[in-house]
Amino acid sequence: MTDHPHNHDEHDVEEFDTVILTDDEGKDHEFLHLDTLELDGSTYFVLMPISEDESEEDEAIILKLGKDAEGGEMLLDIEDDEEWEKVADAWENLVDSEDAE
């Protein structure tokens, strides 16, 4: 293990993981992984699209962690409006409580 010349605790900027998702047409899209939520036994990922077009206003998307036919993990759109609202509210409350600190 090597020593780093800097202390990671001194960083003010939050670093996010990058996630690459492939759409139905085989095109890759890059997202920042903002948060992971556990709610009612399910796991949800909050992602922000990384857009080359700075004029576009990007909105965070929420995807549910599920399994494909082979049992591999995949991210799914939330089909149920009520479920989506519940997850969006939970994330909003989490962000608001972090901002209040």
Say if 35 falls within a structural domain: yes
Say if 7 falls within a structural domain: no
Distances (CA, A) of 77 to 13, 20, 32: 29, 15, 17
**How far apart, in whole angstroms, are the C-alpha atoms of residue 46 and residue 10?**
25
Say if 10 falls within a structural domain: no
Number of domains in the chain: 1
Residues 6+ positions from 17 with CB-CB distance below 8 Å: 32, 33
Say if 6 falls within a structural domain: no
Tens-digit pLDDT profile for residues 57-99: 678 899 999 988 899 988 999 999 999 999 999 999 888 877 7
Residue 4 has pLDDT above 50, yes or no: no
Residue 7 has pLDDT above 70, yes or no: no
pLDDT at 13: 52
Residue 6 has pLDDT above 50, yes or no: no
Say if 33 falls within a structural domain: yes
pTM of the model: 0.73
Residue 40 has pLDDT above 80, yes or no: yes
Q: Are 36 and 44 in contact (CB under 8 A)?
A: yes
Say if 45 falls within a structural domain: yes
**How far apart, in whole angstroms, are the C-alpha atoms of residue 31 and residue 61?**
9
Domain residues for the domain of 47 are 15-100
> What's the pLDDT band for 11 if we cut at 50, 70, 90?
very low
